[in-house]
Amino acid sequence: MTRAEWLQVPVGLDAPQWVTRHDLLNVLVVVHTVTSGQRLLEVIELVERDPRVQVAFTQAPDVFSNGVDDFLRGTGGLVLAWEQVVHERFDLAITAGYGGLNQLHAPLLVVPHGAGFGKTYAGTSAVYGLDAQRLLHNGRVLPEAIVLSHEHQLEVLRRHCPPAVDVAIVAGDPGYDRMIASLPHRDRYRSDLGVRPEQNLVVVSSTWGGQSLFGRFADLFPRLLEELPSRYRSAALMHPAVWFGHAPRQIRSWLADCVDAGLVVIDPQADWRAALVAADFVIGDHGSVAVYAAAIGTPVLLVDPGLQAVTASGSPQEVLRDNAVIYRDESSLHSLFEEAQQRAELLRDRVAGSLTSRPGHSATLIKEAMYRLLGVPVRGKHRAPAPVTITPEVHR
């Protein structure tokens, strides 16, 4: 995009002569990936109703940027080119990624895009997202505020990036809070997924990469469809980086035979949390989805965890890895499900306890942090976490 193509409103030196409402606080939502964008949408909802606020979105540089352009257009929000954004000033920027943050001119709030901070760099103990490489630039802490989901992450931050401890806020996990609020709506989610009351829903979740479930256990889908009786319904839930790393058409093509045999495929635009609330069982890997499923009490089977060396110590991912039932090809599905059911309550308590130390309060605490950075009093009432919604495109 050239300077001639930059938007002239509602930001920029000449914008006041063109806008309808004046003296607004400009808040920038910095989206690196579809996954981070999904988390940021519910964060920005905490301030965008405020008549003092104008929200804009931008796509920041990232290796997993596929799909972000369409995602941003789908928000119906104002989208600014990154090339323009780095030449403007904003009253607040929020992000769940790290690329290019040193180029922004705004107080910066960083939130995790998944279940806490669960990954380390291979061969090191440095935790991705709580490390100096991501949080410092020329010795300066980039964010004005870093949202942590649990108290134990303060110690991780203190070990790996001590200067950032002073800007850390333990605010809990908004994804978990909304899933808890969604539990009473389970029957509606199941109906939206085409699951009959007498059926058991098995959700198979895969993160991205060669060590993921879809990368190593793709034959699990046909096994479920062949071996489980009709009282079971199976659904595939893929990380957006799988969908957009290979292209939606390719993913649907690879799964087409399974879909013909009855597999439900959760669309990447659907709210995956509704599928977890609807599930009777979840089979997952080292990604965040299995963590959230276990944290709300859904019986979980974990495929051979892989990447054990990059699971952060004390993280909910490590707790899940050390306590979940491990999927085994040689075991019957019925026996594995039965074992997972027996362990679900204990797993829920341990995983939820490591996932958030502020259950039910994340929206309030993050909202207060955003208004503090904006420098104005909090506007509006604190609302209880809302249940998630599931879109009509949830299955193919």
DSSP 311: B
Q: CATH says 185-355 is which class?
A: alpha beta
Global pTM reads 0.93
pLDDT (average), residues 253-273: 95
Q: Answer yes or no: is pLDDT of 170 > 80.
A: yes
Q: Which of 176, 54, 74 is nearest to 391 (CA)?
A: 74
Please write the tens of the pLDDT for every residue from 3-54.
Answer: 447 888 898 878 888 888 888 999 999 999 999 999 999 999 999 999 999 9
Please write the tens of the pLDDT for every residue from 202-247.
Answer: 999 999 988 899 999 989 999 999 999 999 999 999 999 999 999 9
Please write the tens of the pLDDT for every residue from 100-124.
Answer: 999 999 999 999 988 888 777 766 7
Question: Given the DSSP bridges, would you call strands 140-141 and 136-137 parallel, antiparallel or unpaired?
Answer: antiparallel
Could you state, in order of their start, the residue ranges of all structural domains in the chain?
A: 3-176+358-394, 185-355
Q: Which residues contact 60 (CB under 8 A, 6 or more apart)?
A: 30, 31, 32, 82, 95, 97, 99, 100, 101
Same fold, 3-176+358-394 and 185-355: yes
The pLDDT, as a whole number, for residue 273 is 95
Cβ atoms of 348 and 180 within 8 Å: the answer is no
Q: Is the domain covering 3-176+358-394 a CATH 3.40.50 domain? A: yes
Please write the tens of the pLDDT for every residue from 121-142.
Answer: 766 778 888 999 999 999 999 9
The pLDDT, as a whole number, for residue 123 is 63
List, as one string, the DSSP characters of 111-149. Answer: --SSSSS-BB-TTS-PBTTSSHHHHEETTEE--SEEEES
Q: Answer yes or no: is pLDDT of 307 > 70.
A: no
Q: Answer yes or no: is pLDDT of 380 > 90.
A: no
Task: For residue 308, name the pLDDT band (cuts at 50, 70, 90).
Answer: low
